[in-house]
Structure 1
Amino acid sequence: MDIAELTQRMNDFVRSKGWYAPDSPRPQTPRNIATSISIEAAEVLEHFQWNGEIADRDALAGELADVALYLLQLASVSDIDLERAILDKLDVNYGRTWDE
């Protein structure tokens, strides 16, 4: 499954919950979704709060999936081709100089 297919599956889910409706209690605005990415990323970090070992791989996988789904959603509502953005950023990074 590619990014476009994952995005479609995510859009289908959001639509099925009614979150695209104008009166939704979870408005799908870029700001709201960016906030949700930050919250979910903090939940990823919680897995490493007191030690560097992965204690619950399944729980960590679920949090990573949450971050990825919100990222797909933010790109979608912002009309950004995430696949193109990733490839462009990789090109930029290949040209960067990194500290040793």
Structure 2
Amino acid sequence: MAAFQICAQVWLATSLLADGLAIAGQALLASAFANKDHYKVAVTTARVLQLAIVLGIGLTAFLAAGMWFGASVFTSDAAVISTIHKGVPVRWSS
């Protein structure tokens, strides 16, 4: 349960971080739609998509490395750390 709670809290924190990009993109798009500026809509959509891909890849790499190598920041219990490593989708050794 401790490992689940750690993984859930880390997931929630990164989810809220990504949500900030989504909210900003929605506000920009709503403004462009209201002004009927179709060029700005297309440019904003493309840019938000680019940033979302970069943010997704960056968070994936950061979380995979952070949870794999930094799980001991949250707990010193070996069983909990082992369970956290099972929840991380990246394996560093074969």
Specify the TM-score bucket, using the shorter chain as the normaliser: 0.3 to 0.5
Which has the larger helix fraction?
2
Higher RCO, 1 vs 2 (CA within 8 Å, ≥6 residues apart):
2
Q: Could you tell me the TM-score, scaled by structure 1's length?
A: 0.33
Q: Could you tell me the TM-score, scaled by structure 2's length?
A: 0.35
